[in-house]
Amino acid sequence: MKMEKQLVTGWAGVVVLLTSLRLVGTNPTTYGWFGGLAVLTVVLVAWQITRVLASWRGDNLTVKATWWLVWRHWWRWGLAMAWLTLLTLPFGLWGLSSRLLVRLRLPVTLINFVGLHRHVLGGIAIMGYLVLAIAGGYYLPRFLRRIAPYPLPPCQKGWWRSGWWGIGGGFLGLFTAELLVGVAWWSGSRLPESFGRPMTVGLAFLIWTVLSTVGVWLFIGVLRLAGGQPAAFGSPWRLPDWRLLILLILTGGLNAWQAVNQQPQFMATAIISHRGVDAGHGVQNTLGALRHVSKQRPAYVEMDLHETKDRHWVVLHDENLQQLTQRSVTPHDLTLKQLQRLVVRENGYRDHLVGWETYLRAAEAKHQRLLVEMKTTPQDTPHMIQRFASQYGQRLIHDHDAVHSLDYRVVTRLKQKVPRLPVGYITPFNWVSPRSVPADFYSFQRISLSQEFILAAAQQRINTYVWTPDTSVAMARMWALGTNGQITNEASRLRWVVHQPVATQRWAVLQNFVLSYI
């Protein structure tokens, strides 16, 4: 019984430290405290696993003996924790993934190289991840046997069942968490506003409890692969000592309160039409689509520019025209006049490609602000960006337009040439500190976006836009994260979402909380 209490105490300590990491990690500028807590958490996890391995034989190691065993295998623990971190980083990592990545400072040249070659590098990363996962799964039981204080018993018959139980428990926990999110959605429009925030905190606490229990359950299942006896862990459903129970309740309450009250949330949201289209009316980046969407007066119409063969610019997103014109040519293969004669088809509409000067004049006539995305290719002429800045920089400033790009060289060159022009950086995925790539604003990719990245930009007093939420669920989630604007193909739907009472959208806070774990 004493051994079991000590094991429960260890699990409680791990949960408390992980919760502390989550709370400290909400401030993207705290490096010292966050790093210290991370190291302490790794050491405690190593300590706890060592005690668990000893308990499989019914032995109770002394504090001194446990420390000595952890120190003896310090380099093995380092490799194991690095493997575990890399393997779980694409997922929630107990809600710590974004808190780690938002602190990652890398050279601008490396970040830009990864962004411009993301498709090739992404494929390599996926293959490397699979190799890492398979190799780690093969060596993990051997690692546990190597660091065990005593020879472990052979794997039990049917050891593989623990893996299936773990997977089943994970899905059950996720289903339960989503069920609680559904409760928040159902009650949002039925309860008075005064009940909304306390109920959201309570549901967040229940979600935290479910996911924490499942996390320990999965961890125990992994350890069983080395041949451990499940009885040595104690039942995961048995209540610990009342003092530990109070401690876990307090940490869970703090975690839930932070998730519900972390700022920014539900900010005023700028509606930005992606490629100038709303609900499929018209062909992207054409005058017909611009005329339709400008009637709704979005904050910006986002559109794209490519350089042509004769050093002009055409309003076009894709580098190849196969999808819109069924012709496998690029803008650099044709002059602007040749491109303007091409018919493009999309969403049941047909239109013509249009030159940048014509599109800009049409937007100015309708007093419609533009968010211009500058596309770059290896075929671009030298000093293309400087030439664009000289010809259109002051005009864009006068029109209150803005420019952004996936190529950070565009950001730096435009700011050097036209300092007063708002220029933003588009992140293909969110994996480094925004401070690594200074810009006037950021256009964050939606799938990997978290509140920490938005908070990091807000601390620099910089706006954040997100691309491209098109469903009501995605829009509500991004609104709950506190984005300053959303670049969407469904501008009218976004307008409806952000005009809903905040009380009816608090479920999105809980949904973001769940997704931060997984």
Question: What pLDDT, on a 0 to 100 scale, did the predictor assign at position 253?
Answer: 86
Question: What pLDDT, on a 0 to 100 scale, did the predictor assign at position 148?
Answer: 78
Question: What pLDDT, on a 0 to 100 scale, did the predictor assign at position 237?
Answer: 44
Judge whether 177 and 214 are in contact, CB under 8 Å. no
Place of tokens 């959605």: 185
d(CA 440, CA 89): 29
Question: What pLDDT, on a 0 to 100 scale, did the predictor assign at position 155?
Answer: 59
Question: What pLDDT, on a 0 to 100 scale, did the predictor assign at position 230?
Answer: 45
d(CA 284, CA 303): 8
Its pTM stands at 0.91
Question: What pLDDT, on a 0 to 100 scale, did the predictor assign at position 235?
Answer: 46
Question: What pLDDT, on a 0 to 100 scale, did the predictor assign at position 427?
Answer: 96
**What are the structural domains, with CATH classification, of the chain?**
2-261 (no CATH), 270-517 (3.20.20.190)
Question: What pLDDT, on a 0 to 100 scale, did the predictor assign at position 231?
Answer: 42
d(CA 7, CA 1): 10
Using CB atoms within 10 Å of the CB of residue 246, give its burial: 0 to 12 exposed, 13 to 18 middle, 19+ buried.
Answer: exposed
CA 182 to chain centre: 22
Question: What pLDDT, on a 0 to 100 scale, did the predictor assign at position 262?
Answer: 86
**CA separation, residue 117 to residues 110, 111, 431 (Å):** 11, 10, 15
Question: What pLDDT, on a 0 to 100 scale, did the predictor assign at position 396?
Answer: 98
Structure tokens at 79: 């490799």
CA 268 to chain centre: 21
Question: What pLDDT, on a 0 to 100 scale, did the predictor assign at position 57?
Answer: 64
Question: What pLDDT, on a 0 to 100 scale, did the predictor assign at position 86?
Answer: 87
Q: Judging by DSSP bridges, how do beta strands 300-307 and 313-315 pair with one another?
A: antiparallel
d(CA 428, CA 404): 12
Judge whether 472 and 511 are in contact, CB under 8 Å. no
Q: Is 41 in a helix, a strand, or coil?
A: helix
Q: Give the residue ranges of the chain where pLDDT is below 50.
A: 230-237, 239
Question: What pLDDT, on a 0 to 100 scale, did the predictor assign at position 89?
Answer: 85
Question: What pLDDT, on a 0 to 100 scale, did the predictor assign at position 228?
Answer: 53
